[in-house]
């Protein structure tokens, strides 16, 4: 209340000062206007009477002068007329006037002004043929009365303003400040007491930003509380849960303050220009979902290709920006590459060459010398960026991501032999016969073996890699410890099944109906697919399975809908452009086949092609009854784990391809061969009709697996193995 009183008093004082100043200005103007009016009227009257009154001055005829005054007495405010000698002595005057009057100016002009006391106004005009002058007197009391009226109106205007300002201020304070404060305080009290699970913070108003920050703080506290409770539970049962805080402390202990540098082609945050403003996009990416928690926990720098159209506007002089925007935890260092370099390095060698080579699925690898040249050049650009980031740092740790940077480990290690370098290969590794297709296989293997630690998702890919190296390079393979020894340098090759963090207490459940309506879907049973539009994801085969499911189970007409959230990818490559058209046409064909008057607004397949943000995808995970991950070949596929990790009210059902790394861990999913359309259709029916008890048993088993083997444990294993590296004394 004290603050409210001070606010009102301050506003009233400010209003009073403004009103007083304005009233003073008006009063001065009113006085000047009334005096000007008296001067004008008095001067005209004096000029008109001067000739007629001059003979009266010679005769001192008071009666005649009175008659003249009476003749003009009807004029407003005239009080009388007098005639005076040159020295001001009164010769003749009407009754009630001053006994004397000061002479006018010597220039012969009419002299007008107020007489001291302010009640009379005099205009004096010199006589033309007789020494002396004529004076006309007018009543001037209305001048001060007019000024007083201005001040009176100003006072009442101020009083009205004060009352209105006080009322409006009290209204605003009560409903726009105090009420949100009370709601926010009550919400925070519930959060502190642990009673506000799922309650949304107050939104909007003056306290919107504060509420948003408080929500983030409450979420962090709730996460910490849940992690502590889970840690206590698991310790009681002889287990231990990895959390961000535990990973952070573990990294501090193992890395001894050395910074972590992550290198990836894709950046976790893009700055783009939309409707004249710069916005931040968080692309849906398995790599980002898997790696970012490590940097959030440990701190450091993410080095990536700056691909957003506003990326250059948001970095500092060193091409860095702190992220995440709402709670900065680490730096994002952007590397700029030309359009020609991107075409050769990314679209060419990486995605028309290495990607199909490693996946062995529906596309012939394309290897061109110019692409290889650009691939080498961009790897060198990234090497220079990393070396600048670790300059002056003893024994830095570098975690390189994926097939875009096969040459990078060697480049870094040659310049900084004291750096601990790890390369994690997110896609499969083919058998030696398949890899033998690549014209630059020796250079790629040599670059990769510059790493101290080389990771794949599963042991099978590690075995393929070691066999490829054994057949291609002169080296010693330690099959017992899964390592490659070349000269004085050793590379450890291990499986690191990447994972995600389990989502708990994510807030109110989104509306399934509203989400489906946003993409034009209609039904009661929602099956979901989340993919980049890539030929390895088995999207067309999945649609065929949906068609077969509806065909074999007509009872689900109008009830079952499959929503595919497809993100456009690598559209510069003809095979990907063709795939987009193929997927669209297949969806249209299936929808046309089952169209009917009975279910005119229903479509069995809804294809939503767009760049879906992680937060948007997470909402779909929480409401989908079934999620289908039917990749034809995949290293891990985090979509499967993200779906299981989502915070839901009821368990879901996961259909999972046997050709994904995730199928080795999520064994309670419905494992299918994606090429077997009949089996996938049967799995859809099994997922929809599964008994609640069986569904819950499978779901809890999969969630328990992710809880125990989460992303923080994955990061801890990488940190451990990097910290154990025995550094060479000289460059590799």
Element (H or E) spanning 562, and its range?
strand 560-567
pLDDT category, 203, cuts 50, 70, 90? low
| Biggest CA-to-CA distance, the chain | 146
CATH topology of domain 2-145: Beta-Lactamase (3.30.450)
Q: How many CA atoms lie within 13 A of 548 on its CB side?
A: 16
* Residue ranges of the chain that CATH labels 3.40.50.2000: 259-495, 512-709
- Determine contact, residues 526/559, Cβ cutoff 8 Å: no
Task: Say how far apart CA 285 and CA 660 lie, in whole Å.
Answer: 16
Q: CATH homologous superfamily for 259-495? A: Glycogen Phosphorylase B; (3.40.50.2000)
346-383 residue pLDDT tens: 999 999 999 999 998 678 899 999 999 999 999 999 99
DSSP letter assigned to residue 528: E
Question: What is the DSSP track for 338-384?
Answer: -HHHIIIIIIIIIIIIIHHHHH-SS------HHHHHHHHHHHHHHHH
Give the mean pLDDT of 46-75: 69
> Angle at which helices 286-298 and 244-255 pack, to 10 degrees?
60
* pLDDT value of residue 667: 96
List Cβ neighbours of 620 (8 Å cut-off, separation of 6 or more): 515, 528, 530, 563, 565
- pLDDT of 228 over the 80 cut: no
Q: Nearest to residue 301, comparing CAs of 272, 321, 273?
A: 321
Separation in Å, CA 263 to CA 271, 364, 381: 19, 28, 12
**Residues 448-461: what's their mean pLDDT?**
96
User: Could you report the per-residue pLDDT of 392-442, keeping only the tens digit for each?
Assistant: 888 899 999 999 999 999 999 999 999 999 999 999 999 999 999 999 999
Of the candidate ranges 68-82, 302-316, 532-546, 591-605, the one whose mean pLDDT is the lowest: 68-82
CB 375 within 8 A of CB 700: no
Rg for the chain (alpha carbons), in Å? 44
- CATH code for the structural domain at 512-709: 3.40.50.2000
Question: What are 551-568's pLDDT values in tens digits?
Answer: 999 999 999 999 999 999
Greater model confidence, 602 or 227: 602
pLDDT, the chain, mean: 87
CB proximity list for 83: less than 8 A, separation 6 or greater:
53, 56, 57, 65, 90, 91, 92, 93, 127, 132, 133, 134, 135
Per the rule left: phi > 0, alpha: psi between -120 and 50, beta: everything else, 475 is beta
From-to residues of CATH 3.30.450.20 in the chain: 2-145
628, 622 Cβ separation under 8 angstroms:
no
Lowest mean pLDDT of 46-55, 412-421, 635-644, 715-724, name the range: 46-55
Given pLDDT bands bounded at 50, 70 and 90, which one contains residue 238? very low
Confidence of residue 92 (pLDDT cuts 50, 70, 90): confident
- How many CB atoms sit inside 10 A of residue 36's CB? 11
7 or 224: which leads in pLDDT: 7
């Amino acid at each position: 209340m004290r603050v409210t009183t001070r606010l009102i008093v301050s506003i009233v004082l400010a209003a009073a000062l403004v009103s007083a100043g304005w009233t003073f200005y008006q009063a001065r103007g009113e006085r000047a206007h009334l005096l000007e009016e008296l001067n004008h009227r008095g001067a005209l009257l004096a000029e008109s009477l001067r000739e007629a009154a001059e003979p009266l001055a010679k005769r001192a005829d008071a009666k005649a002068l009175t008659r003249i005054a009476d003749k003009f007495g009807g004029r407003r405010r005239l009080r009388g007329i007098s005639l005076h000698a040159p020295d001001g002595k009164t010769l003749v005057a009407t009754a009630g006037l001053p006994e004397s009057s000061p002479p006018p100016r010597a220039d012969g002009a009419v002299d007008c002004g107020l007489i001291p006391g302010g009640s009379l106004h005099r205009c004096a005009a010199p006589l033309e043929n007789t020494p002396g002058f004529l004076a006309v007197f007018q009543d001037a009391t209305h001048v001060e009365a007019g000024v007083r009226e201005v001040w009176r109106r100003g006072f009442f205007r101020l009083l009205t303003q004060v009352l209105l300002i006080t009322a409006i201020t009290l209204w605003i304070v009560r409903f726009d400040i105090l009420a949100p404060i009370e709601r926010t305080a009550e919400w925070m009290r519930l959060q502190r007491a642990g009673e506000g699970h799922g309650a949304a913070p107050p939104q909007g108003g003056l306290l919107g930003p504060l509420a948003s920050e408080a929500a983030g703080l409450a979420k962090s506290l709730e996460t910490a509380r849940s992690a502590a409770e889970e840690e206590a539970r698991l310790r009681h049962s002889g287990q231990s849960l990895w959390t961000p805080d535990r990973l952070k402390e573990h990294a501090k202990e193992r890395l001894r303050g050395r910074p972590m540098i992550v290198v990836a082609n894709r950046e976790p945050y893009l700055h783009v220009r939309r409707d004249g403003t710069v916005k931040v996009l968080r692309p849906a990416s398995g790599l980002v979902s898997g790696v970012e928690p490590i940097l959030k926990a440990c701190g450091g720098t993410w080095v990536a290709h700056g691909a957003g159209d506003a990326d250059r506007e948001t970095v500092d002089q060193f091409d860095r920006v702190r992220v995440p925007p709402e709670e900065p935890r680490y730096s994002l260092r952007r590397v700029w590459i030309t359009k020609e370099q991107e075409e050769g390095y990314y679209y060419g060698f990486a995605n028309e060459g290495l990607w199909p080579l490693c996946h062995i699925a529906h596309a012939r690898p394309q290897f061109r010398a110019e692409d290889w040249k650009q691939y080498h050049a961009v790897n060198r650009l990234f090497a220079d960026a990393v070396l600048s980031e670790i300059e002056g740092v003893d024994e830095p740790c570098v975690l390189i991501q994926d097939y875009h940077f096969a040459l990078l480990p060697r480049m870094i290690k040659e310049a900084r032999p004291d750096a601990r370098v790890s390369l994690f290969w997110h896609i499969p590794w083919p058998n030696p016969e398949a890899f033998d297709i690549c014209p630059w296989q020796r250079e790629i293997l040599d670059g990769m073996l510059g790493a101290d630690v080389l990771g794949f998702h599963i042991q099978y890919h590690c075995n393929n890699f070691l066999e490829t190296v054994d057949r291609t390079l002169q080296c010693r393979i330690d099959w017992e410890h899964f390592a490659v020894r070349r000269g004085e340098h050793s590379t450890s090759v291990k499986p690191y099944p990447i994972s995600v963090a389990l989502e708990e207490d994510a807030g109110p459940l989104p509306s399934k109906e509203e989400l489906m309506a946003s993409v034009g879907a209609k039904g009661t049973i929602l099956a979901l697919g989340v993919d980049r539009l890539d030929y390895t994801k088995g999207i067309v085969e999945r649609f065929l399975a949906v068609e077969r499911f509806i065909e074999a189970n007509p009872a689900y007409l109008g009830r079952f809908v499959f929503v595919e959230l497809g993100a456009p990818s690598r559209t510069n490559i003809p095979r990907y452009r063709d795939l987009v058209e193929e997927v669209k046409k297949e969806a249209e064909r299936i929808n046309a086949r089952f169209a009917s008057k009975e279910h005119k607004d229903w479509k069995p397949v809804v294809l939503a092609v767009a760049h879906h943000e992680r937060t948007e995808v997470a909402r779909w995970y929480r409401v989908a009854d079934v999620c289908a991950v039917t990749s034809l070949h995949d290293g891990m596929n985090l979509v499967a784990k993200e779906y299981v990790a989502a915070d839901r009210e009821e368990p879901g059902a996961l259909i999972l391809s046997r050709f994904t790394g995730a199928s080795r861990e999520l064994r309670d999913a419905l494992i299918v061969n994606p090429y077997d359309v009949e089996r996938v259709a049967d799995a859809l029916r099994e997922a929809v009709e599964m008994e609640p008890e069986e569904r819950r048993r499978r779901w809890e088993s999969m969630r328990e697996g992710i809880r125990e083997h989460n992303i923080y444990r994955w990061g801890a294993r990488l940190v451990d193995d990097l910290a154990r590296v025995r550094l060479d004394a000289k460059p590799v």
